[in-house]
Homo-oligomer: A and B are copies of this chain.
């Protein structure tokens, strides 16, 4: 019999506190996080320092957004008893690690990250700060400080993590094996369209928020774009281009064949189709929203304090190991 040595999976992930989350986050990331709480050691970070990289000129909403973000996580079922929920800036060891590791990271590595130039092109040259340039290093520090071995990433984040892994390898090469090299776990999430048919995103203002109430949700579903050639009820529709149909596929799987057939034939009109989706969505969201409504905002502070305390035990160990490996006084 072969006995396998299993290393416990330690997951680290986070969101920037830039506003309330929407159902696109819920169907994708948060459902996975709830699963992580059951299967792994999990660390979920409110990345307030990351938020500063792009919004250092308007920081007044970070506090409120932090609370909203944590309420969304909890509403989705993320269990603070089974993971650590914490604010990045409450862990001084992240900043210390960041400064130490900055010494071994060539500027050229950071400059070659595709998103660096893309974002400057998109958001303007005033974004080209020293902090923004260091974004991938800061992400690595978030991961390395809790010694996470697994990081859920979308494809667009792979290059950031790859730099992080390079930094770890360089550190371990220079000072001896100290840091854990994190592995990506690629996440395949359903494409969740927003009300205008584009990817659901706050920046398109096409989102249905986790915190929306039922009338708001119904109203937003009613306003969704559909096949532009299906103008009247009996016109035949093309479900493959309809965002309402895309949401049925996520939320209403058993009814998909019937809806597809009757949309194509023209028997099903968009008004009825949307009404069914709104009802289904509100049904799905009801326990999440009830949980959110029942949460005490004032409890968020205590959850974050407990999370920071838990994280700092590990963070202090990691930092002490790093300083000792670097032979600092």
Contacts and interface: CB of A to CB of B under 8 A. Distances in A.
Interface of A: 17, 46, 48-49, 52-53, 56-57, 59-60, 62-63, 66-67, 87, 89-90, 92-96, 98-100, 102-108, 110, 126, 128-134, 137-138, 174-175, 304, 323, 326-329
A140 to B, nearest CB: 12
B130 A328 contact: no
A263 B59 CA distance: 70
Given A95-B98, A98-B95, A104 B327 contact: no
A131 B103 contact: yes
Query: Which secondary structure dominates where chain A touches chain B?
Result: helix
B130 A107 contact: yes
A130 B175 CA distance: 18
A33 to B, nearest CB: 20
A312 to B, nearest CB: 11
Given A96-B95, A100-B52, A89 B132 contact: no
Nearest to A97: B95
Given A56-B174, A95-B95, A327 B63 contact: yes
Given A59-B326, A89-B329, A106-B130, 16 more contacts: A17-B329, A52-B100, A56-B103, A59-B327, A63-B329, A92-B92, A95-B98, A95-B99, A99-B99, A99-B138, A102-B129, A102-B134, A103-B130, A103-B132, A106-B126, A110-B130
A49 B329 CA distance: 10
A310 B63 CA distance: 31
Given A130-B110, A131-B99, A89 B48 contact: no
